Structure 1
């Protein structure tokens, strides 16, 4: 049987990279997936890929910083399916910049998307999951940058470290409530996603999704080059590598895991 047959999931930031691979993998395992992203074209493409493969999916444009939009997305899922079982908080951004050069609005924007967006998703998904009466799984995407520091990524590290400990605290809250909801974090290393083509040549560099290693003044970086110098396996991971870990955490195969960190980094943090 498909591991997630009959379950319903929301995946934020599902328009590309890890989010897209995750949405496709969840649908392949039988889940009905609501894909959300601020990138409408990317989100609709993911939606189309799932449908073309015979899966069940929907798409909603979403800015994860908006609480009203979270309320609407969860309500849409409940109206369509009558339940919610899985939430994957994947949407995120990264800014490669020294602390002394970082404008306050850049700092605040990372906090809002990477940390507040995760908080809002959990806040509004948990009551919906509880209504189903059979528990569920929340998977928050952190990073290896949430486990160790990186010069030039202090703001990103702060948000991803925050996701890590927020996940642990929320896992204990749900365990105390005996609601059957497990909450875990995933920590990708260098993953070959479109993020690398979004790194500018110098100036203020904005990169979206993934671990986000930015070097001010550098050209767009090759993930294989970075991985070869930092990951013992010597090559970059693929979005599907992270998606498979997320499917595991969403399934009953991980039923005794909550508050845990799943590190998928080619040995980077070893």
Structure 2
């Protein structure tokens, strides 16, 4: 069998790193993409030290030319692209009336435009190579639920939800699936503001099991969505929130 090639943005840490490690353990070749060069190379080395195949490509997903280069270099190295996981993202805890426009645009550029660039460039390459691949986008429970001080983040995740559905509709004739995955409260650096404000316990109380979701759990869910056996899941946003959106 031809080994699959998975491109994972935000692969230097958190959900992205765990997903890189998961795909590699399952025998896929992994392209680690991140702006953080040291941590991204560390992820790739972790894979190679366990006899996996991985390369790191420094990528700022807010720049279209970076994402284009990421896809081109992936195909130059491995000859194909089967999975595109548009995962890179940032957050900010700021009341809407205090929102700094520089911060607002940075969140939009990374979380929304970065996903759009990944969908477009990976989709074009999959079509060109006649690969029936899958594009998976990280969204959030905050794509459907409102929460204080996350105005820009809400905007991006709502956009990702609809971009997922729209792209899935247009790419279906080429056998390319597009799926969203919506985590709840995941134990990564992006929830540091919750820790700083001492509200971690109240966040835990919003999910079934009264605990934070671990990045490895999200990696497992992303891997499942990438499989051919999941080919009936297309144009959907899969909730991986441990009941956050339905519990309270």
Whether TM exceeds 0.5 here: the answer is yes
Q: Are 2:170 and 1:193 equivalent residues in the alignment?
A: no
Q: Distance in 2 between matches of 1:219 and 1:268?
A: 21
**Partner residue, 1:219:** 196
| Aligned pairs for 1:119-130 within 5 A | 119-130=116-127
Q: Which has the higher helix share?
A: 2
Using the TM superposition, give the Cα deviation of residue 122 of structure 1 relative to its aligned residue in structure 2, in angstroms: 1.1
Q: Distance in 2 between matches of 1:239 and 1:93?
A: 15
TM-score relative to the length of structure 2: 0.94
Structure 1's unaligned 5+ residue stretches are 200-213
Q: Are 2:51 and 1:75 equivalent residues in the alignment?
A: no
| Aligned pairs for 1:129-148 within 5 A | 129-148=126-145
**Partner residue, 1:269:** 245
Q: Distance in 1 between matches of 2:198 and 2:203?
A: 11
Structure 2's unaligned 5+ residue stretches are none
**Partner residue, 1:232:** 208
Q: Distance in 2 between matches of 1:149 and 1:97?
A: 14
Q: Are 2:25 and 1:28 equivalent residues in the alignment?
A: yes
Q: Distance in 1 between matches of 2:2 and 2:25?
A: 9
SS at 2:147's partner residue? Answer: coil
1:110 paired residue among 103, 107, 110: 107
2:13 paired residue among 13, 16, 20: 16
Superposition CA RMSD, Å: 1.6
Using the TM superposition, give the Cα deviation of residue 71 of structure 1 relative to its aligned residue in structure 2, in angstroms: 1.5
TM-score relative to the length of structure 1: 0.87
Using the TM superposition, give the Cα deviation of residue 113 of structure 1 relative to its aligned residue in structure 2, in angstroms: 0.5
Q: Distance in 2 between matches of 1:93 and 1:196?
A: 10
Q: Distance in 1 between matches of 2:197 and 2:94?
A: 15
Q: Are 2:14 and 1:37 equivalent residues in the alignment?
A: no
Contact 1:184 1:261 in 2 (8 A): yes
Cα offsets for 1:86-139 (capped at 9, x unmatched): 100000111111111001121111111000000111111112112332310000
Q: Distance in 2 between matches of 1:226 and 1:147?
A: 19
SS at 2:91's partner residue? Answer: strand
SS at 1:186's partner residue? Answer: strand
